[in-house]
Amino acid sequence: MTLNLTATGKPQELILAYLQENASDVLADKINNGVRIAKDGKTLFNKKTLDGFMKYASDETRKLAEKGANSACVEDSVVYGWAIHYFEEESIEGKLYNEDGTEYASPKPVKKTTAPTVPYTAPKPKSEPQLSLFDMLGTQNKEEPVPAVVPVQHDDENDNDDEPTEEEIAEVMEREQEDQQIAPPLPPVQPRPSEWYERYLSVKAKNKDSILFYRLGDFYEMFGNDARTCADVLDLTLTGRDCGLKERVPMAGLPFHAADAYIAKLVNCGYKVTVAEQINGELRERTIDPPAEELNVDEETGEILPIEEMRKFDGDIEEAEILATRTLPPDDEDDDFPPLDAKAYDPEALSILDELFGNLMILR
């Protein structure tokens, strides 16, 4: 399938040639048609270009460079792995387009306008009108009414009934205590991992003693301590991935078609590796164990003996030392040959030949 990418310059041409040769059908469809994403309440198409990848690769190289360094050396296989990851990972944004094919522009933030504040001016008090002579005479004649005082009658018999009982007092106090109690705060909602990460954790729980290679798309990815180990042993870039938790999980990845070489290196270093991938809709696992060391077991005690101790127990080392220090007597018939020193020969070979031939063996 032809990839809808435009290369500018020799580096981009090399990346395009690698993608053209190694991209799967799924990855080629993502490159050519983009991926639907939701942003700002809209459905957009996320399409990536080789120019965007070059910026991504520059950022990854800057992470690898030593502090204060002006450059860094990165192997071709690592750069090609970045290319697969860049176009495969849907969370990395390239150019965004609307559903009608036009390029998407982020909405500009709306500036909040505030009404100008007007200082408050208190109204001037109104001047009272000047009273006339007739108004003054009228106010003197008006008399204010005297309120009637109604005597309160106390009923001595009902005074005791108005006092609250002890039960009423206890009920009121209990009600006040209930009102004063503050409801305990609700526990914070714990974030739940993504569905695919839950499947990864279930497989990892069954293979705790293995480094788990979990296939996602065109990559095998390792997480947590497995990612840190692979980053150290295999010289991979240690990054992180959003798995639905509060923090990103440490992650290292490599292309699936190059996994055999990396797995062989881990196994030769003594690590046990488990590979998990989806095949025909079914998650399958296979485990590669490191080569077992050759052990010598004592048949009587069951004790495991090192090779050197086993040879010493069998007498091979002592016999070799005796043969190495023993010189053979000269033969009467062969006076022309000088006496031979057995130190010039391999001690292990001499011990084996001595067991087979005994006195019949003569060194020349």
Predicted confidence (pLDDT) per residue in 305-321, tens digit = 555 565 555 554 444 44
Nearest by Cα to 234 from 267, 201, 277:
267
Which pLDDT value is given to residue 193? 80
- pLDDT tens track for 5-15: 888 888 888 88
For the record, the structure tokens of 308 come out as 């050197």
CB 19 within 8 A of CB 3: yes
pLDDT at 166 over 90: no
Distance CA 91, CA 194 (A): 14
Distance CA 277, CA 190 (A): 29
* Closest CA relative to residue 81, chosen from 262, 277, 254: 254
Highest mean pLDDT among 52-61, 94-103, 122-131, 170-179: 52-61
238 pLDDT above the threshold of 80: yes
CB neighbours of 321 closer than 8 A, spacing ≥ 6?
347
Rounded to 5°, the CA angle 255-261-263 comes to 85
Measured between alpha carbons, how far is residue 216 from residues 53, 177, 279 in Å? 20, 58, 12
Distance CA 276, CA 274 (A): 7
Q: How far apart are CA 53 and CA 85, in angstroms?
A: 10
pLDDT attached to residue 309: 62
3-state secondary structure of 95: strand
Tokens, residue 338: 């000088």
Which of 58, 175, 46 has its CA nearest to residue 98?
A: 46
Q: How far is CA 265 from CA 109, 276, 286, in A?
A: 53, 18, 17
Please report the pLDDT score of residue 323 as a whole number: 47
Q: Are 61 and 72 in contact, with CB atoms under 8 Å apart? A: yes
Bridge partners, 228 (sequence order):
none
The model's pLDDT over 274-305, given as tens digits with 9 standing for 90+, comes to: 999 988 888 889 999 988 765 555 666 656 55
* pLDDT at residue number 37: 82
For residues 230 and 266, give the distance between their C-alpha atoms in angstroms, rounded to a whole number: 8
Q: How far apart are CA 34 and CA 92, in angstroms?
A: 12
Residue with tokens 């503050």: 182
Answer yes or no: are the C-beta atoms of 4 and 27 closer than 8 Å: no
Q: How far apart are the first and last CA of the chain?
A: 73
- Assess contact for 65 and 71: CB atoms under 8 A: yes
d(C-alpha 229, C-alpha 223), whole Å = 10
Q: Is pLDDT at 24 greater than 60 in this prediction? A: yes
Measure the CA–CA gap between 213 and 274, rounded to whole angstroms: 6
Closest CA to 307 of 298, 316, 299, 295: 295
pLDDT tens digits along 110-155: 666 666 666 767 777 766 666 665 666 665 555 555 555 555 555 5
pLDDT at 327: 47
pLDDT of residue 204: 93
pLDDT digits (tens, 9 = 90+) for 175-234: 877 766 655 666 666 677 888 898 899 999 999 999 999 998 889 999 999 999 999 999
Separation of alpha carbons 5 and 336, rounded Å: 86
Average pLDDT, integer, range 226-252: 90
